[in-house]
Chain A
Amino acid sequence: MRSRVVNVVFAGLGGQGVIKASDVLADAAFRTGLDVKKAEIHGMSQRGGSVTSDVRFGPEVHSPMIPDGHADFLVVLAPSQVENNLHQLRVGGVLFPPELVPESSLRNKRSLNVALLGALSVHLAIGEEHWQAALSDSLPERLLQVNLEAFEVGRAAERARAGGKGPHVHP
């Protein structure tokens, strides 16, 4: 008896854009009219330490934190942060490891966070216009184009991996 809340965990190291990625997803989901909650810890951990951020959306979200083993999707930006976050994923949940989008396929390797969002977007019922709006609202203009490209690179990588099939989640 799963609730219809979609749970996404982002993980990585301070400075990689973990929180930025979760902000964009939360904003895109908000634009669809759903209830959204986003939780993270920042402060001391941002000095190069582990960072995670939880985004939950659906008709009604209670706790801002995703219980262990309940993440539908786990998006990881640093290879060292995959293993220690796997426990957050539910059975049948989908992992987006950093190597899903090779650095060489990105014009700016700092866009990995947005590229993995693109990969994630293949599984979510969030319209193109909401992603576009969320990205352009959260990025400075000079970085927008390179990130929109990264988003598409991530999408293509995920379609190739899933053969266009992966689980789709409709809140």
Chain B
Amino acid sequence: METVATKAPARGLWSGDEAVALAALDGGVALGTGYPGTPSTEILEAFSELGGRAQWAPNEKVALEVGLGAAFAGARVLVTMKHVGVNVAADPLFTAAYTGVDGALVLVSADDPGMASSQNEQDNRRYAIAAGVPMLEPASSQEAYDFTLAAFELSTRWKIPVILRMTTRVCHSKSVVRRRETPVPPAAPARFVRDIRGRVMVPAFARPAHRKLRQKLEEIRAWAETSPLNRIHEASLALGVVTAGVSFQHVREAAPEASVFKLGVVYPFPMESLRRFAAGVERCVVVEEGDPVLADAMRAAGISVESKAEMFRFGELTVERVRRILARDESPEAPPARQKPPELCDACPYHPVYGALQRMGCIVAGDIGCYTLGVMEPYQAMDTCVAMGASIGVGLGLRHVLPEVQARKVVSVIGDSTFIHSGLSGLVEMVYNPPATGHVLLVLDNGTTAMTGQQEHPGTGRTMTHDATGHVSIEGMARAAGVPNVDVVDPVKDPKGFEDLLARRLASNDLSVIVARRPCILAAADIRHFEKVNAEKAAQASSPCSACGSDDAV
């Protein structure tokens, strides 16, 4: 397989994700951790392929906490996730801004404007403002490489976590990258230095920590005013555009005549430089994808700028849309070309599951993964899908208040990786506050994180690199939590048995967990291969003479 590592080392055609991984390698990152999520997944995969130490965490919150611990000990750490993953990691993030770090910590937030593969198009620039952490935003693979290294420098210098905000087009587009000739000197060896006031955020210590954070942000703003990460392309005085990220590329193509202020540091805002730029042009337009974050901030600072019409808040920007923004053209846009929607693979083991749910008229509280496609024709067998792990709480809520006839039809459906990610708390809630009609939780276990490209997770018992490690048993967790009925079935081998079992469990007032286990059709051959290799390794390790390779002991 073609990987970053096999390409020319000095100059190559890399995706933004690969460029971040390469920078992590050249920047001496000791640990990469995260949870898979489009469009961020390839960063850690590429980092691992390049020889970096990378691991999947059960979810983004744990990933950030592991990263924070390593950074407290002086290491350089990369933590990756998609935009909605930052919601999961937000709790430690906001307080990590107070504690700061001893080594360096860069969190990649991969946003998905236009929702190519996401449930919302939230604009995570708002997280930088809300948590009070600096944010850099690259516009190309070269900048993804350069800004990752710059983010580590910034994090090291001010001892603060830094967010690198990517978007789908920067993550997944390939463009030319030139690598640094001299690698960054390694960090000092990890060591523990006690700093109770700095890291134990009880109110008495958190109050001064907050003041210190605001002081740091002011210093970083002053630095950002002249940072080379912000660039001004000087051209026409009639039109000035303020932009960042991939929108910069669209602006250069749509309006080559315009002067452009391109932000690399998107927070803290280099407001005085922006003020000077805006004052120096006749017309100043802010071109930004998503929410009007920058335009609102500039206006709040008393700078008069034009921003895009509301219709351009939705979806990605393109060269055509930027032309329209600059021409103040708000006429209706042509509807997007008809596309064939995605669907469950022909041989997907979930077909019999959704067939049964549809026939039985179930009310399905669904979740996030390939199996969300059960909502499409011919099944339309999913009624809610909100957030990772939400199927369980939502299903319970429905059961609590619906009339009994309907309550009995409610099933929570969640995938294996999603269950590990954030289904465990829902499982506990189910045992602690059971609805009067009981509840049925259906875990669709295809043995992989299928939708994002078949990543391992704690339930597979294999690490990111497919080596054997501790295995978390889904049915074991359900039994340990106190669920009375826990069954494991193969929905393909015994579809009738599966359907009968589901009917019985729905009719009872008990709590039930049914694990429908059958490997993903795309991953099955690989899974068999990994199992075989790991079994051979284990056999070798347990053989008495493996140490010296001698045959004498037979």
Q: Show the binding face of A for B, using Cβ within 8 Å.
A: 13-14, 23, 26-27, 30, 35-50, 61-65, 67-68, 80-81, 84-85, 87, 137-138, 140
Residue ID in chain A nearest B2 by CB atoms = A138
Q: A49 to B339: give the CA distance in the assembly, Å.
A: 7
B349 to A: closest C-beta gap in Å: 14
B175 lies within 8 A of A43 (CB): no
Contact of B339 among A30, A46, A50, A68 (CB under 8 A): A50
B412 near A: Cβ within 8 Å?
no
B176 lies within 8 A of A30 (CB): yes
Q: A63 to B248: give the CA distance in the assembly, Å.
A: 8
A44 lies within 8 A of B339 (CB): no
B408 near A: Cβ within 8 Å?
no
For B312-353 the 0/1 string (1 means CB < 8 A from A) is 000000111000000000000010011111111100000000
List, in ascending order, chain A residues with CB within 8 A of B337's CB. 84-85, 87
Q: A84-B339, A85-B337, A87-B337 are in contact. Are A43 and B176 (CB under 8 A)?
A: no
A41 lies within 8 A of B168 (CB): yes
Q: A38 to B176: give the CA distance in the assembly, Å.
A: 10
Q: A166 to B9: give the CA distance in the assembly, Å.
A: 37
Q: A35 to B11: give the CA distance in the assembly, Å.
A: 12
List, in ascending order, chain B residues with CB within 8 A of A40's CB. 172-173
A43 lies within 8 A of B13 (CB): no
Contact of B176 among A35, A45, A68, A80 (CB under 8 A): A35
Interface pairs (5), CB distance under 8 Å = A27-B13, A35-B175, A42-B172, A47-B451, A64-B175
Q: A42-B38, A44-B117 are in contact. Are A37 and B342 (CB under 8 A)?
A: no
Q: A30-B13, A44-B451, A84-B338 are in contact. Are A62 and B38 (CB under 8 A)?
A: no
B373 near A: Cβ within 8 Å?
yes
Contact of A63 among B2, B168, B249, B344 (CB under 8 A): B249
B252 near A: Cβ within 8 Å?
yes
Q: A108 to B341: give the CA distance in the assembly, Å.
A: 27
Q: In the A-B complex, list the 4 residue pairs whose CB atoms are closest, starting with the nearest.
A: A43-B117, A49-B342, A43-B38, A47-B342
In this complex, which of A23, A26, A47 has the most chain B Cβ atoms within 10 angstroms of its Cβ?
A47
Contact of B116 among A35, A44, A48, A140 (CB under 8 A): A44
Q: A41-B168, A44-B451 are in contact. Are A63 and B342 (CB under 8 A)?
A: no
Q: A35-B176, A38-B174, A137-B2 are in contact. Are A48 and B345 (CB under 8 A)?
A: yes
List, in ascending order, chain B residues with CB within 8 A of A46's CB. 342
A67 lies within 8 A of B176 (CB): no
B320 lies within 8 A of A67 (CB): yes
Residue ID in chain B nearest A30 by CB atoms = B13
Contact of A41 among B116, B250, B319 (CB under 8 A): B116
B39 near A: Cβ within 8 Å?
yes
List, in ascending order, chain A residues with CB within 8 A of B339's CB. 45, 49-50, 84
Contact of A49 among B39, B175, B340, B370 (CB under 8 A): B340
List, in ascending order, chain A residues with CB within 8 A of B38's CB. 42-44
Q: A26-B174, A39-B169, A65-B169 are in contact. Are A50 and B319 (CB under 8 A)?
A: no
List, in ascending order, chain A residues with CB within 8 A of B39's CB. 43
List, in ascending order, chain B residues with CB within 8 A of A138's CB. 2
Q: A47-B373, A48-B340 are in contact. Are A63 and B116 (CB under 8 A)?
A: no
B246 near A: Cβ within 8 Å?
yes
B452 near A: Cβ within 8 Å?
yes
A50 lies within 8 A of B318 (CB): no
Contact of B252 among A62, A84, A140 (CB under 8 A): A62
